[in-house]
Amino acid sequence: MTFYSHPFIASASQKSDSAFDDLTASLNEARPHPTEEALVQLGRALMTELVDMISDTALEDYQTILGEALIGAFHSAAGRIERDADRARDAMRSLDRDFDGSEAADTELQDATAKARAGDAATQACELIRDAASETWTVATGEVWTAWRGSRRGTRLTAAQLEAKQAIRAIRQRRSGEADPGGPVVAFRGAPTADSAEDAGRIFDALNWAKQEWPDMALATTGAKGSEKLAIKWARQKGVTLILARADFDAHGKAAPFRANDELIALEPEVCLTLVHSVDRARADHRPFGPALNFGQKAMESGLRHVSIKARAA
Protein backbone atom coordinates (compact mmCIF):
# COMPACT_ATOMS: atom_id res chain seq x y z
CA MET A 1 0.00 0.00 0.00
CA THR A 2 1.57 3.32 -1.11
CA PHE A 3 0.36 6.74 -0.07
CA TYR A 4 1.57 9.04 -2.84
CA SER A 5 0.25 12.26 -1.30
CA HIS A 6 1.09 11.25 2.27
CA PRO A 7 -2.43 11.70 3.70
CA PHE A 8 -1.14 10.65 7.14
CA ILE A 9 0.98 13.82 7.37
CA ALA A 10 -0.51 17.15 8.37
CA SER A 11 0.82 20.61 9.05
CA ALA A 12 0.65 22.14 12.51
CA SER A 13 -2.42 24.15 11.51
CA GLN A 14 -4.20 20.93 10.51
CA LYS A 15 -3.38 18.93 13.64
CA SER A 16 -6.26 17.71 15.78
CA ASP A 17 -6.48 18.71 19.41
CA SER A 18 -4.73 15.83 21.21
CA ALA A 19 -1.89 15.42 23.70
CA PHE A 20 0.25 13.74 21.02
CA ASP A 21 -0.37 16.49 18.48
CA ASP A 22 0.35 19.14 21.10
CA LEU A 23 3.65 17.40 21.91
CA THR A 24 4.78 17.17 18.27
CA ALA A 25 3.76 20.78 17.58
CA SER A 26 6.05 21.90 20.42
CA LEU A 27 9.14 20.15 19.05
CA ASN A 28 9.99 22.78 16.42
CA GLU A 29 10.87 19.95 14.02
CA ALA A 30 11.31 21.07 10.41
CA ARG A 31 9.70 17.86 9.14
CA PRO A 32 5.98 17.35 9.84
CA HIS A 33 4.77 14.61 12.19
CA PRO A 34 1.86 12.27 11.42
CA THR A 35 -1.24 13.25 13.37
CA GLU A 36 -2.63 11.06 16.12
CA GLU A 37 -5.67 10.35 13.96
CA ALA A 38 -3.42 9.18 11.11
CA LEU A 39 -1.40 6.88 13.38
CA VAL A 40 -4.58 5.30 14.73
CA GLN A 41 -5.80 4.83 11.16
CA LEU A 42 -2.50 3.18 10.25
CA GLY A 43 -2.73 0.70 13.14
CA ARG A 44 -6.25 -0.27 12.16
CA ALA A 45 -5.34 -0.57 8.48
CA LEU A 46 -2.32 -2.81 9.14
CA MET A 47 -4.31 -5.23 11.27
CA THR A 48 -7.30 -5.23 8.93
CA GLU A 49 -4.98 -5.98 5.99
CA LEU A 50 -3.37 -8.89 7.89
CA VAL A 51 -6.66 -10.46 8.97
CA ASP A 52 -8.20 -10.07 5.50
CA MET A 53 -5.11 -11.53 3.83
CA ILE A 54 -4.85 -14.73 5.91
CA SER A 55 -8.55 -15.45 6.42
CA ASP A 56 -9.69 -18.61 4.62
CA THR A 57 -6.09 -19.52 3.78
CA ALA A 58 -3.71 -22.14 5.17
CA LEU A 59 -2.18 -19.40 7.35
CA GLU A 60 -5.44 -19.00 9.25
CA ASP A 61 -4.26 -21.74 11.64
CA TYR A 62 -1.49 -19.33 12.71
CA GLN A 63 -3.70 -16.26 12.90
CA THR A 64 -3.20 -15.71 16.63
CA ILE A 65 0.61 -15.90 16.38
CA LEU A 66 0.72 -13.53 13.41
CA GLY A 67 -1.73 -11.04 14.91
CA GLU A 68 0.03 -10.92 18.26
CA ALA A 69 3.41 -10.63 16.52
CA LEU A 70 2.27 -7.56 14.59
CA ILE A 71 0.98 -5.83 17.72
CA GLY A 72 4.02 -6.94 19.71
CA ALA A 73 6.37 -5.48 17.09
CA PHE A 74 5.11 -1.96 17.78
CA HIS A 75 5.14 -2.64 21.53
CA SER A 76 8.79 -3.69 21.26
CA ALA A 77 9.64 -0.66 19.12
CA ALA A 78 8.04 1.67 21.68
CA GLY A 79 10.17 0.12 24.42
CA ARG A 80 13.42 0.44 22.45
CA ILE A 81 12.78 4.07 21.54
CA GLU A 82 11.79 4.88 25.12
CA ARG A 83 15.08 3.45 26.39
CA ASP A 84 16.98 5.69 23.94
CA ALA A 85 14.98 8.69 25.19
CA ASP A 86 15.80 7.73 28.78
CA ARG A 87 19.51 7.64 27.94
CA ALA A 88 19.18 11.12 26.45
CA ARG A 89 17.53 12.28 29.68
CA ASP A 90 20.42 10.82 31.67
CA ALA A 91 22.78 12.81 29.46
CA MET A 92 20.67 15.94 30.05
CA ARG A 93 20.98 15.56 33.81
CA SER A 94 24.72 15.04 33.58
CA LEU A 95 25.22 18.02 31.27
CA ASP A 96 23.00 20.22 33.41
CA ARG A 97 24.91 19.24 36.56
CA ASP A 98 28.30 20.01 34.97
CA PHE A 99 27.14 23.02 32.92
CA ASP A 100 29.92 25.61 32.64
CA GLY A 101 28.08 28.26 30.65
CA SER A 102 30.06 27.68 27.45
CA GLU A 103 28.47 27.65 24.01
CA ALA A 104 29.61 24.06 23.43
CA ALA A 105 28.01 22.86 26.67
CA ASP A 106 24.80 24.73 25.82
CA THR A 107 24.66 23.11 22.37
CA GLU A 108 25.20 19.65 23.86
CA LEU A 109 22.43 20.21 26.38
CA GLN A 110 20.02 21.43 23.71
CA ASP A 111 20.81 18.43 21.49
CA ALA A 112 20.21 15.96 24.34
CA THR A 113 16.94 17.70 25.24
CA ALA A 114 15.74 17.60 21.63
CA LYS A 115 16.64 13.89 21.34
CA ALA A 116 14.73 13.03 24.51
CA ARG A 117 11.60 14.92 23.45
CA ALA A 118 11.72 13.49 19.92
CA GLY A 119 12.04 10.02 21.45
CA ASP A 120 9.00 10.65 23.63
CA ALA A 121 6.97 11.58 20.54
CA ALA A 122 8.17 8.51 18.61
CA THR A 123 7.37 6.27 21.60
CA GLN A 124 3.83 7.64 21.78
CA ALA A 125 3.44 7.18 18.01
CA CYS A 126 4.32 3.48 18.31
CA GLU A 127 1.93 3.11 21.25
CA LEU A 128 -0.92 4.67 19.27
CA ILE A 129 -0.33 2.30 16.32
CA ARG A 130 -0.04 -0.67 18.71
CA ASP A 131 -3.25 0.09 20.57
CA ALA A 132 -5.23 0.76 17.39
CA ALA A 133 -4.03 -2.56 15.93
CA SER A 134 -4.88 -4.30 19.22
CA GLU A 135 -8.38 -2.80 19.26
CA THR A 136 -8.97 -3.88 15.65
CA TRP A 137 -7.64 -7.38 16.45
CA THR A 138 -10.18 -7.77 19.25
CA VAL A 139 -13.06 -6.57 17.07
CA ALA A 140 -12.04 -8.89 14.20
CA THR A 141 -11.26 -12.05 16.18
CA GLY A 142 -12.71 -11.64 19.68
CA GLU A 143 -9.21 -12.22 21.13
CA VAL A 144 -7.44 -9.75 23.41
CA TRP A 145 -3.73 -8.92 23.30
CA THR A 146 -1.70 -8.26 26.43
CA ALA A 147 1.96 -7.30 26.58
CA TRP A 148 4.23 -10.33 26.98
CA ARG A 149 6.13 -8.73 29.85
CA GLY A 150 6.39 -5.44 31.66
CA SER A 151 3.84 -2.70 32.10
CA ARG A 152 2.19 -0.60 29.44
CA ARG A 153 1.11 3.02 29.56
CA GLY A 154 -2.45 3.81 28.60
CA THR A 155 -3.39 5.87 25.55
CA ARG A 156 -6.72 7.38 24.67
CA LEU A 157 -7.60 3.99 23.11
CA THR A 158 -6.75 1.78 26.09
CA ALA A 159 -6.21 2.02 29.82
CA ALA A 160 -2.86 1.20 31.38
CA GLN A 161 -1.62 -2.34 32.02
CA LEU A 162 0.60 -3.02 35.03
CA GLU A 163 2.69 -5.95 36.17
CA ALA A 164 1.38 -7.26 39.50
CA LYS A 165 4.83 -6.95 41.12
CA GLN A 166 5.01 -3.29 40.12
CA ALA A 167 1.52 -2.64 41.48
CA ILE A 168 2.42 -4.35 44.78
CA ARG A 169 5.50 -2.12 45.11
CA ALA A 170 3.36 0.94 44.38
CA ILE A 171 0.86 -0.01 47.08
CA ARG A 172 3.68 -0.38 49.61
CA GLN A 173 5.09 2.99 48.55
CA ARG A 174 1.66 4.58 48.91
CA ARG A 175 1.52 3.39 52.52
CA SER A 176 4.82 5.10 53.21
CA GLY A 177 3.66 8.25 51.46
CA GLU A 178 6.07 7.90 48.53
CA ALA A 179 3.56 7.39 45.72
CA ASP A 180 -0.08 6.86 44.87
CA PRO A 181 -0.77 4.07 42.35
CA GLY A 182 -4.42 5.02 41.82
CA GLY A 183 -7.75 3.54 42.80
CA PRO A 184 -8.84 0.36 44.55
CA VAL A 185 -8.15 -3.09 43.11
CA VAL A 186 -10.80 -5.66 42.17
CA ALA A 187 -9.34 -9.14 41.54
CA PHE A 188 -10.88 -11.88 39.40
CA ARG A 189 -10.02 -15.54 38.85
CA GLY A 190 -12.09 -17.76 36.60
CA ALA A 191 -12.17 -21.10 34.87
CA PRO A 192 -10.69 -21.27 31.36
CA THR A 193 -13.73 -23.26 30.19
CA ALA A 194 -16.14 -20.51 31.32
CA ASP A 195 -16.17 -18.67 28.01
CA SER A 196 -19.75 -18.98 26.77
CA ALA A 197 -22.12 -16.05 26.15
CA GLU A 198 -23.86 -16.86 29.44
CA ASP A 199 -20.53 -16.84 31.27
CA ALA A 200 -19.63 -13.50 29.69
CA GLY A 201 -22.94 -12.02 30.82
CA ARG A 202 -22.41 -13.07 34.44
CA ILE A 203 -18.78 -11.89 34.46
CA PHE A 204 -19.76 -8.51 33.03
CA ASP A 205 -22.60 -8.23 35.56
CA ALA A 206 -20.15 -8.82 38.42
CA LEU A 207 -17.58 -6.39 37.04
CA ASN A 208 -20.20 -3.72 36.35
CA TRP A 209 -21.36 -4.07 39.95
CA ALA A 210 -17.75 -3.69 41.14
CA LYS A 211 -17.28 -0.56 39.02
CA GLN A 212 -20.43 0.94 40.53
CA GLU A 213 -19.01 0.27 43.99
CA TRP A 214 -15.50 1.52 43.13
CA PRO A 215 -15.69 3.79 40.04
CA ASP A 216 -11.91 4.28 39.89
CA MET A 217 -11.14 0.57 40.25
CA ALA A 218 -8.30 -1.35 38.60
CA LEU A 219 -8.91 -4.96 37.51
CA ALA A 220 -6.34 -7.57 38.58
CA THR A 221 -6.23 -11.02 36.98
CA THR A 222 -3.68 -13.52 35.67
CA GLY A 223 -4.69 -13.13 32.03
CA ALA A 224 -5.43 -16.85 31.62
CA LYS A 225 -7.58 -17.94 28.70
CA GLY A 226 -11.35 -18.22 28.88
CA SER A 227 -13.15 -16.24 31.56
CA GLU A 228 -10.17 -14.05 32.46
CA LYS A 229 -9.74 -13.00 28.83
CA LEU A 230 -13.42 -12.00 28.89
CA ALA A 231 -12.72 -9.89 31.98
CA ILE A 232 -9.79 -8.22 30.21
CA LYS A 233 -12.06 -7.45 27.29
CA TRP A 234 -14.51 -5.77 29.69
CA ALA A 235 -11.66 -3.70 31.18
CA ARG A 236 -10.60 -2.54 27.72
CA GLN A 237 -14.16 -1.52 26.86
CA LYS A 238 -14.56 0.39 30.13
CA GLY A 239 -11.13 2.02 30.10
CA VAL A 240 -10.22 0.29 33.37
CA THR A 241 -6.55 -0.10 34.33
CA LEU A 242 -5.43 -3.73 34.11
CA ILE A 243 -3.01 -5.41 36.53
CA LEU A 244 -1.61 -8.77 35.36
CA ALA A 245 -0.22 -11.36 37.77
CA ARG A 246 0.95 -13.83 35.14
CA ALA A 247 1.56 -17.46 36.04
CA ASP A 248 5.30 -18.11 35.56
CA PHE A 249 5.41 -21.80 34.65
CA ASP A 250 9.14 -21.67 33.83
CA ALA A 251 9.97 -20.58 37.38
CA HIS A 252 7.27 -22.36 39.38
CA GLY A 253 6.05 -25.29 37.28
CA LYS A 254 2.62 -26.64 38.23
CA ALA A 255 2.50 -24.31 41.24
CA ALA A 256 2.56 -21.23 38.96
CA PRO A 257 -1.24 -20.53 39.02
CA PHE A 258 -1.20 -20.65 42.82
CA ARG A 259 1.85 -18.36 43.04
CA ALA A 260 -0.06 -15.96 40.79
CA ASN A 261 -2.91 -16.10 43.32
CA ASP A 262 -0.46 -15.02 46.03
CA GLU A 263 0.44 -11.96 43.95
CA LEU A 264 -3.24 -11.09 43.54
CA ILE A 265 -3.81 -11.41 47.30
CA ALA A 266 -0.76 -9.20 47.95
CA LEU A 267 -2.55 -6.40 46.05
CA GLU A 268 -5.10 -6.37 48.92
CA PRO A 269 -8.16 -6.16 46.64
CA GLU A 270 -11.38 -4.56 47.81
CA VAL A 271 -13.15 -7.67 46.57
CA CYS A 272 -12.04 -11.01 45.10
CA LEU A 273 -14.37 -12.37 42.42
CA THR A 274 -14.25 -16.02 41.39
CA LEU A 275 -15.98 -18.12 38.75
CA VAL A 276 -14.99 -21.72 39.47
CA HIS A 277 -16.83 -23.31 36.53
CA SER A 278 -19.05 -22.35 33.61
CA VAL A 279 -22.56 -21.19 34.52
CA ASP A 280 -23.83 -22.43 31.16
CA ARG A 281 -26.20 -25.28 32.00
CA ALA A 282 -25.82 -26.70 28.49
CA ARG A 283 -22.21 -27.62 29.21
CA ALA A 284 -21.61 -31.08 30.59
CA ASP A 285 -18.36 -30.44 32.48
CA HIS A 286 -18.90 -28.37 35.61
CA ARG A 287 -15.85 -29.49 37.55
CA PRO A 288 -14.50 -26.58 39.63
CA PHE A 289 -11.29 -24.91 38.47
CA GLY A 290 -8.70 -25.51 41.21
CA PRO A 291 -6.78 -22.19 41.01
CA ALA A 292 -10.04 -20.20 41.24
CA LEU A 293 -11.15 -22.25 44.25
CA ASN A 294 -7.73 -21.70 45.83
CA PHE A 295 -7.94 -17.95 45.22
CA GLY A 296 -11.33 -17.73 46.95
CA GLN A 297 -10.01 -19.70 49.92
CA LYS A 298 -6.90 -17.50 50.21
CA ALA A 299 -9.05 -14.38 50.04
CA MET A 300 -11.19 -15.49 52.97
CA GLU A 301 -8.15 -16.64 54.96
CA SER A 302 -6.65 -13.18 54.44
CA GLY A 303 -9.82 -11.44 55.62
CA LEU A 304 -10.62 -10.11 52.14
CA ARG A 305 -14.13 -9.89 50.76
CA HIS A 306 -14.91 -12.80 48.42
CA VAL A 307 -17.81 -13.01 45.98
CA SER A 308 -18.42 -16.19 43.98
CA ILE A 309 -20.10 -15.65 40.61
CA LYS A 310 -23.05 -18.00 40.15
CA ALA A 311 -25.62 -18.73 37.47
CA ARG A 312 -28.72 -16.58 37.43
CA ALA A 313 -31.58 -17.92 39.49
CA ALA A 314 -33.97 -19.98 37.39
* Orientation angle between helical segments 63-97 and 103-141, nearest 10 degrees: 160
307 pLDDT above the threshold of 90: yes
pLDDT one-digit tens code per residue, 98-119: 777 777 777 887 888 888 888 8
The whole-number pLDDT of residue 54 equals: 92
The mean of the pLDDT values for the chain is 82
Give 180's pLDDT tier (boundaries 50, 70, 90): very low
Give 59's pLDDT tier (boundaries 50, 70, 90): very high
Give 5's pLDDT tier (boundaries 50, 70, 90): very low
Q: What percent of the chain has pLDDT over 90?
A: 42
The whole-number pLDDT of residue 19 equals: 81
Burial class (CB in 10 A: 0-12, 13-18, 19+), 295: buried
SS3 31: coil
CATH class in words for 161-308: alpha beta
- The CA-CA-CA angle for residues 81, 239, 20, to 5°, reads 40
The whole-number pLDDT of residue 38 equals: 93
Region of residue 162 (phi > 0: left; psi between -120 and 50: alpha; otherwise: beta): beta
Instruction: Give the pTM.
Output: 0.54
SS3 189: strand
137 pLDDT above the threshold of 70: yes
Give 9's pLDDT tier (boundaries 50, 70, 90): very low
Q: What percent of the chain has pLDDT over 70?
A: 82
DSSP H stretches of helix in 163-283: 164-175, 197-213, 227-238, 249-252, 256-266
The whole-number pLDDT of residue 205 equals: 94
149 pLDDT above the threshold of 90: no
Q: What's the rounded mean pLDDT across residues 85-104?
A: 78
Q: What's the rounded mean pLDDT across residues 183-211?
A: 93
Give 179's pLDDT tier (boundaries 50, 70, 90): very low
Return the beta strands (E) in 80-207 as ranges. Answer: 161-163, 185-190
Domain boundaries, the chain: 12-141, 161-308
pLDDT one-digit tens code per residue, 236-292: 888 898 888 888 888 889 999 999 999 999 888 999 999 999 999 888 677 899 999
- Window from 7-21, 58-72, 238-252 with minimum mean pLDDT: 7-21
